Structure 1
């Protein structure tokens, strides 16, 4: 009988599962998910399962609908602008990690008790230098041009939300007029990043909203420097991607271990060339392709964006529907 009980206990321990909610590009074969799963499973004696949504905003919407019925143990892929909403919804719990244990970049000034940063980047418009010989050097110039553009819906996409934030930061009370001018040469507004970038690569627009790190992918994987990122005189809005422990986690200790793992040197070294964002640790050596990724930052705090998001979405929706 003792042997049977020992066997049952062993099976139970080996069957521990960690369910991670994230966005779809994170879990693709070329994204960081598969490698992170393999690396963490080798340490935890557990099974990691991913559940994906189209984008970070879609992920938050899913968590809002599921409430306390969610199966999420860990949430990966919200960003700093979504943190106030997630906190208000009560879907996350304190991570209880001492963040000073890791050499996080001082510029992040990260002290949050519920969310950890795992990578960051800057929103930028990507263009093919073989087609666009004189790229826009400001948001104003791009909006006033006749260049075709694809961007993402701010209601479902964190890049789309980043552009909305960017437009408000630059144009403030004149944002509606700027959106209307942009709409005149917008090819389409997609639900998420993957669809938009795929259409751009198929030649369906001159510019696509993405990140200043996107050209690094083309340089390191495709060995081409044809795709470049704009650098705008007004500055760029930034994004810090975050992870958190679900308030309803069935495996909080395991989830906390995964959060710590995301900040490990091995995980951080993997992210730049799989998630194509910048690591939050200051001790990660990056390929030269990332040298030009940094940008001057403009914009509002997450709490300021949270307070005005509904109004900004209304401004955007009314402007582009005319």
Structure 2
């Protein structure tokens, strides 16, 4: 998501909530033997309700401290660099496009979280060793600003091929595949679609004026014209984001519109699953295990859709009506075997960078 994703207001609320909890609890328990703080290292788009964090503290006795480290790709890179001496106890935000790197570097300890039996086996990509726990899923897709295309009586693009057509010149913004999981997911979608011809496709996109920025937050909030309820400050009506992005654009609106001001180009999507893991060398591994258990609880899972605008992985988690009504249900999103991603990711990203960015 994961993810992703789209929650400037929600993230600000989460920061306030975390600060409140951090000052409300002591740093050690009555025996002084164990820290009562568990530190979650994550990306900038992580968000959670204050009430949910309070429930975790009430159940476990631990308070949560959150350290954000930029977009997902940058946060994963930093975690790998800090392996053995981590900044926190749990890392959340590595997805299936980046998973092989931290697993290969030995960043995580094994832990089989409670609630894993409620998660589909196909999402448990490390089910033999349980070094990571699936937390959310979704699809990376091109989003479009409905108002822009309606005013111009222009049909929005439907497919990857459409994006290279002249009528969409200078309209698309994406995040960097080297530092951003949505950017990398979009690159993988093009590799899946065009095979060995993916470089030729990107040459066409570059000639058609695709813009590349560092991360998802910048692409969506600063460059996309459809953000902020269709009143975004950017001038690009096409952005690489998520299939679950449209609901955030109607959140809090009264009355609710018939449809969201943004839509999804459903033939551009790539399947994403985000994971969390217990960091090797964690100062509070017991607190980290408790947090992983909680992230698979119904309480946390049912909070995610309107906080991070991603799908819960628990099969019995209920989705809010706003999320299901305004979010897109994507069938046949592109997917790629993790072993193929692991074998080729670095060379693909290097080639893409030379071709598109430099």
What TM-score do the two structures reach when normalised by structure 1? Answer: 0.88
Q: How does 1:22-33 map to 2 (within 5 A)?
A: 22-26=42-46, 31-32=47-48
Q: Is this contact kept in 2: 1:166–1:299, CA < 8 A?
A: yes
Q: Residue in 2 aligned with 1:108?
A: 123
Shift of 1:131: 1.0
Shift of 1:156: 0.6
Shift of 1:253: 1.6
Q: Structure 1 stretches of 5 or more lacking a match?
A: 1-7
Q: Residue in 2 aligned with 1:263?
A: 296
Root-mean-square deviation (CA), in Å? 2.2
Aligned residues: 308
Q: Structure 2 stretches of 5 or more lacking a match?
A: 1-27, 225-231
Q: Is 2:243 the counterpart of 1:212? A: yes
Q: Is 2:70 the counterpart of 1:79? A: no
Q: Residue in 2 aligned with 1:309?
A: 345
Change (3 A) 1:64 1:33: farther
Distance (whole Å) between structure 1 residues aligned to residue 250 and residue 113 of structure 2: 36
Q: Is this contact kept in 2: 1:14–1:45, CA < 8 A?
A: no
Q: Residue in 2 aligned with 1:230?
A: 265
Shift of 1:46: 2.1
Distance (whole Å) between structure 1 residues aligned to residue 205 and residue 49 of structure 2: 35
Distance (whole Å) between structure 2 residues aligned to residue 207 and residue 221 of structure 1: 24
Any idea what SS the aligned residue of 1:19 has?
A: strand
Q: Is this contact kept in 2: 1:154–1:161, CA < 8 A?
A: yes
Q: How does 1:46-195 map to 2 (within 5 A)?
A: 46-97=62-113, 100-101=116-117, 103-105=118-120, 108=123, 111=127, 113-133=130-150, 134-147=155-168, 148-186=171-209, 188-195=211-218
Q: Is this contact kept in 2: 1:150–1:188, CA < 8 A?
A: yes
Q: Residue in 1 aligned with 2:279?
A: 246
Deviations 1:162-193 (A, max 9, x none): 01111110111111111111113345312111
Distance (whole Å) between structure 2 residues aligned to residue 155 and residue 79 of structure 1: 14
Any idea what SS the aligned residue of 1:61 has?
A: helix
Deviations 1:243-290 (A, max 9, x none): 000011121121111111011111111000000001111122221542
Deviations 1:226-259 (A, max 9, x none): 1111111xx6211101000001112112111111
Distance (whole Å) between structure 2 residues aligned to residue 12 and residue 164 of structure 1: 49
Any idea what SS the aligned residue of 1:231 has?
A: strand
Distance (whole Å) between structure 2 residues aligned to residue 300 and residue 276 of structure 1: 23
Residue from 20, 31, 36 that aligns with 1:16 = 36
Q: Is this contact kept in 1: 2:140–2:185, CA < 8 A?
A: yes
Change (3 A) 1:203 1:41: same
Q: Which has the higher helix share?
A: 1
Shift of 1:115: 1.0
Q: Is this contact kept in 1: 2:42–2:68, CA < 8 A?
A: yes
